[in-house]
Amino acid sequence: MRNGKKIGDIVSYLVLALAVVIALFPLLYLLSMSFKPRGLITTKPTLWLFKPSLEHYHKVIVEGFFLKYLFNSIIVATSSTIITLIVSLPAAFSIARFRVGGENISFWILSIKMLPPMVFLVPIYVIFQHLRLLDRLVGLIIVYVAFNSPLAVWLLRSFIEELPKEVEEQAMVDGCTRLSAFSRVVIPLLIPGILVTIALTFISSWNEFLMALILTLEKARTITVAASEYITGYGILWGDIAAAGVIAIIPNIILAVTLQRYLVRGLTLGIIKG
């Protein structure tokens, strides 16, 4: 009995260790490739210990336009997150407290999450062409707000429903209108929930590829698309792609580490409450 448990323990820890290695390996590989000198990349694929070189970062940042694309991504992700919040908070409040539309709205919102973005991209592409919104940051921001709002509304609604109604009612008894009760009382209590929503929305916008690929050309290009563009007429510049990739995932890592607690809560809340 004792031995069985010990073997079980060893196997379990082995599996966990394996999971960690599998999870980290590609990331470590990316990091290693970004510092690997060009000559070594083609001749020694399995070499892990070498003298690191900054040539790829130099190429990408100084010679390429990568900083411009990074800047684009930051603007688009930040703006769309802020606007999504502004748009979704009231909507979530309305659905949670007033039961407007109720289940219908929830289903509509879910159905948007359900469909392949391609379904909307073809007509959006055509419409944006007529409206001259292609290859403009504004165009991307609008699309991202629209596609992130469903999840944001869903999440915020769950958080609002968790709050006891008494607090608001107390505030209204004390003389606030519904609106000021909302802004003065509800919102401060919602901060954890808002943080979760911000984290998830930002990551979703930052990571987005398909819409950025199709709706932009060069001026509004974001870094996820730019990282994939290092496939040139001279062969694929693997080192440069790796450097671009590393730069592109820095915000993800930062967010994951600092907001880990909130992210875990946010991701599971959607499922468990749903």
Binders in 18-47 for other proteins, by CB under 8 A: 19-20, 22-24, 26-27, 29-30, 33, 41-42, 45-46
Binding string, residues 244-273; x marks residues near other proteins by CB under 8 A: -x--xx--xx-xxx--x--xx--xx--xx-
> Which parts of 193-232 interact with other proteins (CB under 8 A)?
203, 206-210, 213-214, 217-219, 224-225, 227-232
- Facing residues of 232 across strands? 235
Q: Does 61 bind other proteins (CB under 8 A)?
A: no
Q: Which of residues 81-120 bind other proteins (CB under 8 A)?
A: 86-88, 90-91, 93-95, 97-98, 100-101, 105, 108-109, 111-120
Instruction: Write out the two tokens for 232.
Output: 């040139």
Contacting residues for 38 by C-beta, under 8 A, at least 6 apart: 53, 55, 56, 239
> Residue 58 Cβ, how far from other proteins at the closest point, in Å?
18
Q: Which residue has the tokens 């505030």?
A: 171
User: How far apart are CB 51 and other proteins at their closest, in Å?
Assistant: 18
Helices (H), the chain: 2-35, 38-43, 55-57, 66-98, 103-114, 117-130, 137-162, 165-173, 178-181, 187-189, 191-207, 210-215, 223-227, 238-258, 260-273
Q: With contacts defined by CB under 8 A, name the span among 54-62, 157-165, 185-193, 234-242 that binds other proteins.
A: 234-242
Q: Which of 72, 79, 81, 149 binds other proteins (CB under 8 A)?
A: 149
How many chain residues are in contact with other proteins, going by CB under 8 A?
108
- Dist. CA 38–CA 243, nearest whole Å: 12
Nearer to other proteins, 42 or 164 (CB): 42
Tokens of 222: 């974001």
